[in-house]
Structure 1
Amino acid sequence: MSAIIWITEGTWPACVDAARRRAEDTDLVLLHVTDDAVSEAAHGAFAGLLGRGHRERDPGTRLEDLSRDAADRLFAEAERRLGRPARRLALHGRPEQQVVRAAEGADLLVCARDGDRTHLGPRSLGPATRFVIDHAPCPVLLVWPDAAPGLGSLPPPPPPPPHRPEP
Structure 2
Amino acid sequence: MPAPTSPRPFPPTSLPAAESLISSLHVDARIDDITKATGWLGALAEDEGWSPATRFALELSLEEALTNVVSYGFQGSAAVPLIRIECYRLPEGRVAVCLIDNGMPFDPTTIAEPEVPASIEDAKIGGHGVQLMRNFLETLAYAREGEENHLTLIARKPE
Taking structure 1 as the reference length, the TM-score comes to 0.28
Between structures 1 and 2, the one with greater helix share: 1
Structure having the higher Rg: 1
Q: Which protein has the bigger strand share?
A: 2
TM-score normalised by length of structure 2: 0.29
